[in-house]
DNA sequence: ATTAAAATATGATAATTGTCATGTTTTAAT
DNA sequence: ATTAAAACATGACAATTATCATATTTTAAT
């Protein structure tokens, strides 16, 4: 199995703060997992017993609401870590993680990470910083949800996906989402999401061939009211 | 000026993880501030240069949305800390803090706290835990905003305030909020918040004399659809 | 105590969004 | 290649929520 020390992925998350020795220990106890598109990585309410480091692929973090609909809280991609919150709070997960495409994950057992958190303050501080960033993002998300129309929220969702996950060579968004997923990001009915996307298409803001969506007028999308 | 070491407030937040020596140092450099009801403690986008520890009173954390309306993200009370997120990210604040009643605050300069974070891992871990909890709360908030009706959100807001901030001897909620504040918590128009509260009153779920609101039927409020 | 300003209340109406029905297209399994 | 299932699309209508207008009550300043 490959060594964490040589893994480029590590540079993009808190694990970069670990020392060589710590990385060697983690390499020795980590396990690797392949997850197929659509598969659930962990369920809401599950005990994780460790962290996942995403080596490849993208997944969605969702929470089931009382009315039975899933809400997408966040999309997480290659280089990022899953399960920090439950690890730190020592609680079951509050979200479900589902693969949006085929994924490769490394699993690091809880005991090792906790040990590092206690001994390596740089690591703890780095994780604290990441969590502080997540919290700011969550604040922004709350305001968007509370104060903007479905049309505005969907425009923002497209812009965010474009900004954070980039595009394929043909200009289409690299993350493929169903209309239901879009609805689940902006918190609306699937039909409403479909209607707004169709409208964006008519207005020339985007083009769409099935799930392959391309932003045609970035500035126009930003101006959506 | 009173000593942090003897301050009971400290028991309720991360500062409890500090050592006696650290507390003495903080006592020596902290300043105290009295804030009147309605006054702004800090603005969105301000540089804080430290932490506030709330000795008494309650404040709201709001974020201005693009449409010009304020969204209340969180209510924070006696015993809690303000400014952790911007301290840790070393960024300007993303929220404005406004006193909801007369408050007493202690201000601890950034340099002291950063020093403690670097040296005392228990303190860092404790702060990390608090932030992880905040993040879970934010996730729940997002789902509520995205998936529930104004009526449901307002019912939940009342239940949360009742649970987290308690009641006066006469049974009224101890935190006094204007109808506009309620609207700003659930993300709706002030008129809508007023209408729903009037409806709750008619249905006997609450009674209200101006801002003094009393939950009359807790179970009923929980059942609101 | 008086008075202006702010907060609360309610009606009327418009705009947004959800739900249900139904048809078409795409996808995936055999 | 065929076919069943899932995803996408759109119309019709209902429900929810926002906006505007206006009145009343409460609050705070003089």
Q: Is the pLDDT of residue A163 over 80?
A: yes
Chain segment A210-225, per-residue pLDDT in tens: 999 999 999 999 999 8
Looking at the complex, does the CB of residue B69 fall below 8 Å from at least one CB of chain A? yes
Which of A161, A163, A159 is closest to A223 using CA atoms? A159
Looking at the complex, does the CB of residue B145 fall below 8 Å from at least one CB of chain A? yes
From A109, A144, A179, the end of a domain falls on: A144
Do A154 and A192 lie in a common domain? yes
Mean pLDDT, chain B, whole residue set: 94
Do B55 and B133 lie in a common domain? yes
Chain segment B73-114, per-residue pLDDT in tens: 999 999 999 999 999 999 999 999 999 999 999 999 999 999
Which of A62, A57, A118, A55 is closest to A88 using CA atoms? A118
**Residues above pLDDT 70, as percent of chain A:** 100
Query: What pLDDT sits at residue A112?
Result: 92
Bases along strand D below 7 A from a protein CB: 7-12, 16-21, 26-27
Query: What pLDDT sits at residue B83?
Result: 96
User: Which of B 3-62 lie inside 8 A of A, CB atoms?
Assistant: none
Query: What pLDDT sits at residue B178?
Result: 97
CATH number at residue B211: 1.10.10.10
Chain segment A41-99, per-residue pLDDT in tens: 999 999 999 999 999 999 999 999 988 899 999 999 999 999 999 999 999 999 999 99
Query: What pLDDT sits at residue A5?
Result: 81
Distance from CA of A167 to the nearest CA of B (A): 27
Q: Is the pLDDT of residue B1 over 70?
A: no
CATH number at residue A74: 2.60.120.10
Q: Is the pLDDT higher at B225 or at B203?
A: B203
* C-alpha pair distances (Å), A158 with each of A99, A185, A218, B49, B124: 19, 10, 10, 36, 36
Do A32 and A140 lie in a common domain? yes
Do B207 and B104 lie in a common domain? no
Interchain pair A136, B71: CB under 8 A: no
Is there contact between A145 and strand C, defined as CB under 7 Å from any strand atom?
A: no
Do A153 and A217 lie in a common domain? yes
Q: Between the CA atoms of B196, B160, B164 and A61, what dihedral angle is there, to the nearest 10 degrees?
A: -150
Query: What pLDDT sits at residue A1?
Result: 60
The whole-number average pLDDT for the span A150-154 is: 97
Residue–nucleotide distance: A210 CA to D3 C1' (Å): 21
Number of domains, chain B: 2
Distance from CA of A170 to the nearest CA of B (A): 32
Do A132 and A195 lie in a common domain? no
Confidence class of residue A12 from pLDDT cuts 50, 70 and 90? confident
Mean pLDDT, chain A, whole residue set: 94
Do A35 and A140 lie in a common domain? yes
Interchain pair B63, A187: CB under 8 A: no
Number of Cβ within a 10 Å radius of residue A207: 15
Q: Is the pLDDT of residue B197 over 80?
A: yes
3-state secondary structure B97-141: EEECCCEEEEEEEHHHHHHHHHHCHHHHHHHHHHHHHHHHHHHHH
Query: What pLDDT sits at residue B163?
Result: 96
Looking at the complex, does the CB of residue B149 fall below 8 Å from at least one CB of chain A? no
Distance from CA of A61 to the nearest CA of B (A): 10
Looking at the complex, does the CB of residue B135 fall below 8 Å from at least one CB of chain A? yes
Interchain pair A187, B147: CB under 8 A: yes
Is there contact between A63 and strand C, defined as CB under 7 Å from any strand atom?
A: no
Chain segment A111-129, per-residue pLDDT in tens: 999 999 999 999 999 999 9
The complex scores an ipTM of: 0.93
Query: What pLDDT sits at residue B217?
Result: 96
Distance from CA of A169 to the nearest CA of B (A): 33
> Which residue of chain A comes nearest to B152, CA vs CA?
A66
> Which residue of chain B comes nearest to A63, CA vs CA?
B143
Residue–nucleotide distance: A69 CA to C23 C1' (Å): 25
Query: What pLDDT sits at residue B214?
Result: 97
**Residues above pLDDT 90, as percent of chain B:** 92
Do B115 and B159 lie in a common domain? no
Residue among B89, B119, B146 whose CB faces A129 most closely = B89
Confidence class of residue B144 from pLDDT cuts 50, 70 and 90? very high
Is there contact between A149 and strand C, defined as CB under 7 Å from any strand atom?
A: yes
Which structural domain, as residue segments, surrounds residue A202? Answer: 148-222
Chain segment A181-199, per-residue pLDDT in tens: 999 999 999 999 999 999 9
Query: What pLDDT sits at residue B134?
Result: 96
Is there contact between A198 and strand D, defined as CB under 7 Å from any strand atom?
A: yes
Do B50 and B123 lie in a common domain? yes
Confidence class of residue B11 from pLDDT cuts 50, 70 and 90? confident
**Residues above pLDDT 90, as percent of chain A:** 92
Whether residue A194 contacts residue A154, with contact meaning beta carbons closer than 8 Å, is answered with no
From A115, A144, A173, the end of a domain falls on: A144
Do B15 and B124 lie in a common domain? yes
From A144, A159, A188, the end of a domain falls on: A144
Chain segment A20-29, per-residue pLDDT in tens: 999 999 999 9
Do A132 and A173 lie in a common domain? no
Residue among A91, A129, A186 whose CB faces B88 most closely = A129
- Positions 142-201 of B with beta carbon below 7 A from strand D are 149-151, 187-189, 191-192
Chain segment B43-71, per-residue pLDDT in tens: 999 999 999 999 999 999 999 998 889 99
Looking at the complex, does the CB of residue A127 fall below 8 Å from at least one CB of chain B? yes
Do A87 and A136 lie in a common domain? yes
């Amino acid at each position: 199995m490959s060594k964490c020390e040589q893994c480029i992925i590590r540079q993009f998350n808190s694990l970069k703060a670990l020392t060589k020795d710590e990385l060697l220990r983690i390499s020795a106890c980590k396990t690797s997992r392949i997850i197929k598109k659509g598969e659930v990585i962990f369920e809401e309410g599950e005990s994780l017993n460790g962290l996942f480091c995403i080596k490849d692929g993208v997944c969605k973090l969702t929470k089931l609401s009382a009315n039975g609909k899933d809400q997408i809280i966040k999309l997480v991609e290659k280089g990022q870590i899953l399960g920090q919150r439950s690890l730190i709070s020592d609680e079951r997960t509050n979200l479900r993680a589902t693969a949006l495409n085929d994924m490769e994950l490394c699993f690091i057992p809880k005991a090792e990470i906790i040990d590092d958190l206690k001994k390596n303050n740089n690591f703890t501080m780095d994780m604290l910083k990441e969590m502080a960033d997540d919290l700011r993002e969550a604040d922004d998300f709350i305001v968007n949800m509370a104060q903007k129309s479905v049309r505005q929220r969907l425009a923002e969702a497209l812009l965010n996906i474009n900004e954070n996950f980039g595009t394929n060579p043909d200009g289409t968004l690299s993350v493929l989402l169903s209309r239901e997923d879009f609805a689940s990001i902006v918190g609306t009915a699937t039909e409403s999401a479909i209607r707004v996307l169709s409208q964006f298409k008519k207005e020339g803001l985007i083009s769409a061939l099935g799930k392959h969506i391309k932003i045609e007028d970035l500035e126009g999308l930003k101006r959506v009211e």
